[in-house]
Chain A
């Protein structure tokens, strides 16, 4: 008995995490696509989708932007839209690893956008390209600071008063939305409004002041899409986040707080400090996401309606983070994947479906991502097809589900 006990434990501690996590994610994706395909088949029987072709639709699902009429443009846009999603996913992921649920990403996203645009739209650099770049960098820095401060509101209230960060964040989301429209409705800032363009509900784009995100030729490469260097920034920052969480002492203490705040306190780790840093960082990331998106010279924001609708990127970031299992580098791919499926969705229109079918698939995949323990168990059982395996997978499950050790007990 002792021997098989040891074997079982070795199985569990085996490189279970890296490869099985990936395997589990792939299973989620596969089942999600399958479900989507089934829905498309059923939908094609309805009269309203008489000309829908499910087989072609499946092909389109896999092809992302590559079935569009203008492939390069669609691809470039897809990558561009990934940028804010990477940032908001990172924002949620970093906070979650520290034990906090950052549902305030939309508000931080808006605060970052607001400050970035305030900077970028108020200084004219149309005649000085170098100045334009400096102002752009300044706008990003201010956006990050704004995000930090906005993230610190739920952070500080949690750290010092023990107030649940979810409720504070929900409040700050709506406060931010209202502040945003309020600020840009002020008379002194009316010069930022797109009055000459006849779209007075919108702000000007940064192309009007020359402070927009440079694209270093990417735009021309992708047939005039929105793609700019923001994607490089996103990837670099994602890597930095990964290094922070896994290779630094600060990341070690943040994760300790997230895994067991009692133990962290006992060991002298200042959990208040870690909560503040995590929420500040999360706020900065979300703020940067918003800033980078709207600093693009081609993107405009309808400021008048901001107070009514929270930015979708803030909430999809939660999905991205979970899909990535809160691993910063995986966030890049999770965000890219979500945007890829979205691009597929848009192109589905040309085979008779509508673009929301893709959203269903993403939602199903996220749902299945919650079953990761179950899938991992299945994979381990499949890998070791012997008596120990059943024990292994159920032991694995038991251990993953908050352990089966009692207080002070031996097994």
Chain B
């Protein structure tokens, strides 16, 4: 007797091994029709792997997948799409030089005798855009549009293929709080229309808000599945990490000393698009203080940091470090004058992956008398230094200082960079997203080290996309929106939702040259012509 299938997707006893790692260890997952089901876990828990198995990017070593009660074999994304399963990846799968429309129809283009025809596709896209409230510019090149629009393109990609089972991998990482709300609404809409949604997240508040069910994974194993109405954030967090979570790191009050970094009226222009990415930014960072720049990715923080550190050119304005104007000076000069930089992209900028640890440890100081002798490398001193730092920063290695950094895990690679930047002589630490992609233990350890650096007298400029990290570490918060500083706050006197409003440009306040607030924030008036020409007062 065939039972009516309860689950639209069931994954039974899934096992997936990679060399040396069991990423999924006999995991069971059940998804009901019209359900929003979240997958919760730390980095490396196996969430992305499990979803990649469902989407056909990987083949499970053991276990089976059932759709509507029938066993299916998903050998490739093609098979998944044929079963109406779609996925929006964490790192967007978009071809940058193609248009939005071309990306939506990629792989599935209508064609006439081999030549691509787009009329039908365009009409269908416009219909979907209206139905689900997803706004995109079909003709724009993906490299020219915002991250939010790129994500909407990815969602349209799924809807275009009539996918009923939608997988989202960390969808809110790059969205404004308002865009996150929109996404939540869209997801609830889609669920109501009968779509079943799986989304991967490590953000507890989002899961509590939008998901019906939550499956928690830890180190490849399934810890449990629970309905969100039967639990709370604290319980979920404990399931996720398996121990008590400290939401804050102990931090003494800041004791700001002399001025170390003075950024004044800085303007940066993108050399390719000629767009002004940083507009008239001014602030100061003193020794013994952590100033944190908060904001959604893409609002000029990257360009601001690159201009300060020297990776990008400054159009107008000044950067003064320890009373020396270093605006147009080389990166080498800035480093010599006391700058340390933990870069946003550890593999692209922070490390030469094919060098070993000791070679990477001295990359800024290799010419110093400490490590060289009239042009000849002093290998002994280098190794000593590197061994020292490995111990001090608890870097896990297979071959000590000789370990090639490419073979190390992300967390340990970051520790190498953090160790290097904190240990060398510096008066300014610029840290961008220093804990991205790291597990809770590593995050805590790096937070502690940054605070310790501040207490030693460094001026710290922190740029972070994680509001929790911002609130935890900052002594002063500066919010950036569209290249400008739109708010300055004391973390003790502001809430995350309030910050979110500034980050989305809904509110702004006047900020002086020191980066201090000049008064209360005001809600920005936005003129949107709606039928009768009435202005819309607020963006919510």
Q: Given A1, A13, A266, A403, which contacts B20 in the complex, CB threshold below 8 Å? A: A1
Contact status B377-A399, CB under 8 Å: no
Chain B residues with Cβ below 8 Å from A264 are 352, 363
Please tell me if B5 contacts chain A, counting CB pairs below 8 Å.
Answer: no
CB distance from B171 to the nearest CB of A (A): 16
Contact status A392-B437, CB under 8 Å: no
Please tell me if B316 contacts chain A, counting CB pairs below 8 Å.
Answer: no
Please tell me if B341 contacts chain A, counting CB pairs below 8 Å.
Answer: yes
Please tell me if A312 contacts chain B, counting CB pairs below 8 Å.
Answer: no
Counting residue pairs across A and B whose Cβ atoms lie within 8 Å, the total is 133
Chain A residues with Cβ below 8 Å from B12 are none
Counting chain B CB atoms within 10 Å of each CB, which of A7, A264, A269 scores highest?
A: A269
Task: Flag the segment in B58-66, B129-137, B353-361 that touches A.
Answer: B353-361
Contact status A265-B311, CB under 8 Å: yes
Chain B residues with Cβ below 8 Å from A388 are 20
Q: Given B352, B366, B398, which contacts A9 in the complex, CB threshold below 8 Å? A: B398
A248 to B351, CA, bound (A): 20
Chain B residues with Cβ below 8 Å from A4 are 20
Chain A residues with Cβ below 8 Å from B352 are 256, 259-260, 263-264
Chain B residues with Cβ below 8 Å from A410 are 43-44, 409-411, 437-439
Please tell me if B364 contacts chain A, counting CB pairs below 8 Å.
Answer: yes
CB distance from A100 to the nearest CB of B (A): 17
Please tell me if A195 contacts chain B, counting CB pairs below 8 Å.
Answer: no
Contact status B372-A249, CB under 8 Å: yes
Residue tally, chain B, CB below 8 Å to A: 54
Chain A residues with Cβ below 8 Å from B446 are none
CB distance from A312 to the nearest CB of B (A): 32
Please tell me if A31 contacts chain B, counting CB pairs below 8 Å.
Answer: no
Q: Digitize A1-22: 1 where CB-to-B-CB distance is under 8 Å, 0 elsewhere.
A: 1001111111011000000000
Chain A residues with Cβ below 8 Å from B18 are 411
Please tell me if B247 contacts chain A, counting CB pairs below 8 Å.
Answer: no
Please tell me if A391 contacts chain B, counting CB pairs below 8 Å.
Answer: yes
A249 to B379, CA, bound (A): 11
Chain B residues with Cβ below 8 Å from A248 are 375-377
Please tell me if A38 contacts chain B, counting CB pairs below 8 Å.
Answer: no
Q: Digitize B422-436: 1 where CB-to-A-CB distance is under 8 Å, 0 elsewhere.
A: 000000000001001
Contact status B399-A10, CB under 8 Å: yes
Contact status B404-A13, CB under 8 Å: yes
Chain A residues with Cβ below 8 Å from B359 are 252
A398 to B346, CA, bound (A): 19
Q: Digitize B395-410: 1 where CB-to-A-CB distance is under 8 Å, 0 elsewhere.
A: 0001100111011011
Contact status B410-A394, CB under 8 Å: no
Once A247-B376, A399-B406 are accepted as A-B contacts, the answer to whether A408 and B437 lie under 8 Å apart by CB is yes
A269 to B366, CA, bound (A): 10
Residues of A225-257 contacting chain B, CB below 8 A? 247-250, 252-253, 256
Q: Given B345, B367, B404, B409, which contacts A411 in the complex, CB threshold below 8 Å? A: B409
A252 to B367, CA, bound (A): 10
Contact status A403-B406, CB under 8 Å: yes
CB distance from B261 to the nearest CB of A (A): 18
Contact status A405-B406, CB under 8 Å: yes
Q: Which residue of A lies closest to B22 (CB)?
A: A1
Q: Given B21, B330, B354, B375, which contacts A1 in the complex, CB threshold below 8 Å? A: B21
CB distance from A378 to the nearest CB of B (A): 16
Please tell me if B83 contacts chain A, counting CB pairs below 8 Å.
Answer: no
CB distance from B429 to the nearest CB of A (A): 15
Contact status B19-A392, CB under 8 Å: yes
A10 to B402, CA, bound (A): 11
Q: Given A249, A260, A391, A406, which contacts B377 in the complex, CB threshold below 8 Å? A: A249
Residues of B345-398 contacting chain A, CB below 8 A? 345-355, 359, 363-364, 366-367, 372, 375-377, 398
Contact status B407-A399, CB under 8 Å: yes
A264 to B359, CA, bound (A): 12
Residues of A263-284 contacting chain B, CB below 8 A? 263-270
Once A13-B407, A405-B347, A410-B410 are accepted as A-B contacts, the answer to whether A270 and B398 lie under 8 Å apart by CB is no
Q: Given A7, A256, A262, which contacts B348 in the complex, CB threshold below 8 Å? A: A262
Can you name 20 A-B residue pairings with CB atoms under 8 Å? A7-B20, A8-B19, A13-B398, A13-B403, A249-B376, A249-B377, A250-B375, A252-B366, A260-B354, A262-B348, A266-B331, A267-B364, A268-B331, A270-B332, A403-B406, A408-B346, A408-B410, A410-B44, A410-B409, A411-B21
Which residues of A line the B interface, CB within 8 A? 1, 4-10, 12-13, 247-250, 252-253, 256, 259-260, 262-270, 388, 391-392, 394-395, 398-399, 403, 405-411
Which residues of B line the A interface, CB within 8 A? 18-22, 43-44, 91, 309, 311, 330-332, 334-336, 341, 343, 345-355, 359, 363-364, 366-367, 372, 375-377, 398-399, 402-404, 406-407, 409-411, 413, 433, 436-439
Q: A267-B331, A268-B331, A405-B413 are in contact. List 16 more A-B contacts (CB 8 A).
A: A4-B20, A5-B21, A7-B20, A12-B404, A13-B402, A248-B377, A259-B355, A266-B309, A266-B343, A267-B335, A268-B336, A403-B406, A405-B406, A409-B437, A411-B409, A411-B410
What are the 5 tightest A-B residue pairs by CB atom distance, in nearest-first order?
A408-B437, A268-B332, A391-B19, A5-B20, A395-B19
